[in-house]
A and B are shown apart, each in its own frame.
Chain A
Amino acid sequence: MGLVTTDNPLTELLHVMIEVFGNYINEFPENSEYLVVGFSPTSIPLKRRWRNNGLSADFIADYLQTFFVTEDQAISQKQIQVKKNAVKYIANELLENAMKFSDEAVHYSTRIAFHLHSDSLIFHVTNSINPENAKKLKAFIEKIEREDPHDLYFLQMEANANEGSQGHSGLGFLSMICDYEAKLGWRFEVLELHNQNMTTVTTMVYLSL
Chain B
Amino acid sequence: MEIKTDDYHIIFDKPSATVICKGSLLLSGTEEYAPILDLLNQAAEQQAEQLVLDLRPLEFLNSSGINTLTKFVINVRNRQTLQLTGMGYEEIPWQVRLLKNLKRLMPDLQLNLE
Contacts and interface: CB of A to CB of B under 8 A. Distances in A.
A171 B66 contact: yes
B70 A157 contact: yes
Interface stretch (A88-96, A127-135, A199-207): A88-96
Nearest to B25: A54
A169 B67 CA distance: 10
Given A92-B62, A179-B97, A54 B105 contact: no
Contact of B30 (A89, A96, A164, A175): A164
A179 B74 contact: no
Given A53-B26, A96-B62, A161 B94 contact: no
Interface in A88-118: 88-89, 92-93, 96, 100
B91 interface: yes
Interface residues of A, number: 31
Contacts, number: 67
Contacts of A93: 62-63
Interface residues of B, number: 25
B60 A88 contact: yes
B70 A175 contact: no
Nearest to A165: B30
Nearest to B69: A157
Interface in B7-34: 24, 26, 28-31
Contact of B104 (A81, A154, A161): A154
B93 interface: yes
Contacts of B91: 78
B24 A175 contact: no
Interface of B: 24, 26, 28-31, 60, 62-64, 66-67, 70-71, 74-75, 91-94, 97-98, 101, 104-105
19 contacts: A46-B28, A47-B28, A54-B26, A88-B60, A92-B26, A96-B62, A157-B70, A157-B74, A157-B101, A157-B105, A160-B70, A160-B71, A161-B71, A162-B74, A165-B30, A171-B63, A172-B62, A172-B63, A179-B97
